[in-house]
Amino acid sequence: MPLVNPLKFIKKAQEKGVAIAAFNVHNLETIQAVVEAAAEERAPVIVQTTPGTLKHAGIEYISACVKVAAELYDIPIALHVDHCPSYKTIVQCIRNGYTSVMIDGSELPYEENVALVKKVVELAHSVGVAVEGELGRIGGAEDGITVEEREATFTVPEEAKAFVDATGVDTLAVAIGTAHGVYKWEPKLDFKRLSDIRKLVDVPLVLHGASGVDDDSIKRAIAGGICKINIATELKIPMAKTIQEVFRVKPEENDPRNYMGAAKEAVKEVVRRKIRLCGCNGLADELEGYR
Ligand SMILES: [Zn+2]
């Protein structure tokens, strides 16, 4: 089937109290790993790329691969651009068949952020594409930041409501204690804040930086209203480790089908585990057109 707007299945997940797993991909093998595991688990899935990946792989290559994947499998697959700061890149993504976009204006002053997101929402909605916004700052897992400094960047519930009302975003990424990359501290999620945001905001909420957060906290976050979970670093690590291991055992290995094939299988296992953790396995069978 063609790529789909993910909002319908994200809302289905919200209704059921589960979450959709969204995976950052970088090349053919990671795309295959994600869609194969999702198809085996009968899970609707979001395949996503950062603007950096578009630069690395080429937007035409990436979008073509994911479109082919959607045609090959009988599950709903969406293609999403993650943390895109540029209106121009959003337009390029939509022209290349992306069905969902995240506009990240979090570096901008509030009013400018709202204006940019509003402009993206108008464009995206006119062509049936979903929009994820972010309020608060989900930073990197860098060293040397105090808890107070981190908390200062967390999403303020009242501001989240005002932001969603002002922009019309379909989903909202919230900063409640996670960070991107590999944690140098034990991540602690602010569940009270999540519940306060949930009370004020109806749109499905998104959790970024979930790699390294323990399974119980993920489950609690889903129960507290998180409907989409982004997974990036947790796919990169098994991929790199598997390739390292291949070369450790056989330093003269030179066939990419061997080391990339092994890496793909390792990534697939993590994808499968994350889908089950999110509780969206089998959800495709509950969606019209996929039963
Ligand atoms: Zn993120």
Instruction: Name the residue ranges covered by the structural domains of the chain.
Output: 7-286
* Amino acid (1-letter code) at residue 34: V
Please give the distance, rounded to the nearest whole angstrom, from the Cα atom of residue 246 to the centre of ligand 1. Answer: 30
* Amino acid (1-letter code) at residue 101: V
Count of other CB atoms within 10 angstroms of residue 189: 20
Amino acid 149: pLDDT: 67
pLDDT in tens, the chain (291 residues): 899 999 999 999 999 999 999 999 999 999 999 999 999 999 999 999 999 999 999 999 999 999 999 999 999 999 999 999 999 999 999 999 999 999 999 888 889 999 999 999 999 999 999 999 998 877 776 556 666 666 778 999 999 999 999 999 999 999 998 888 887 777 889 999 999 999 999 999 999 988 889 999 999 999 999 999 999 999 999 999 999 999 999 999 999 999 999 999 999 999 999 999 999 999 999 998 887
Amino acid 183: pLDDT: 77
Strand pairing report for 45-49 and 226-231: unpaired
CATH class of the domain comprising 7-286: alpha beta
Identified catalytic residue from 82, 143, 170, 190: 82
Please give the distance, rounded to the nearest whole angstrom, from the Cα atom of residue 209 to the centre of ligand 1. Answer: 6
Please give the distance, rounded to the nearest whole angstrom, from the Cα atom of residue 180 to the centre of ligand 1. Answer: 6
Amino acid 265: pLDDT: 98
Rounded Cα distance, 272 and 281, in Å: 9
Closest CA to 134 of 172, 171, 99, 94: 172
Closest CA to 48 of 235, 189, 273: 235
- Confidence (pTM): 0.95
Please give the distance, rounded to the nearest whole angstrom, from the Cα atom of residue 249 to the centre of ligand 1. Answer: 35
Please give the distance, rounded to the nearest whole angstrom, from the Cα atom of residue 105 to the centre of ligand 1. Answer: 12
Amino acid 143: pLDDT: 54
Rounded Cα distance, 193 and 37, in Å: 33
According to DSSP, the residues that pair with 80 across neighbouring strands are: 48, 100
Please give the distance, rounded to the nearest whole angstrom, from the Cα atom of residue 175 to the centre of ligand 1. Answer: 10
Amino acid 146: pLDDT: 66
Q: Which two tokens stand for residue 237?
A: 């690590």
Active site residue 255: no
Task: Note residues around ion ligand 1 (Cβ under 5 angstroms).
Answer: 208
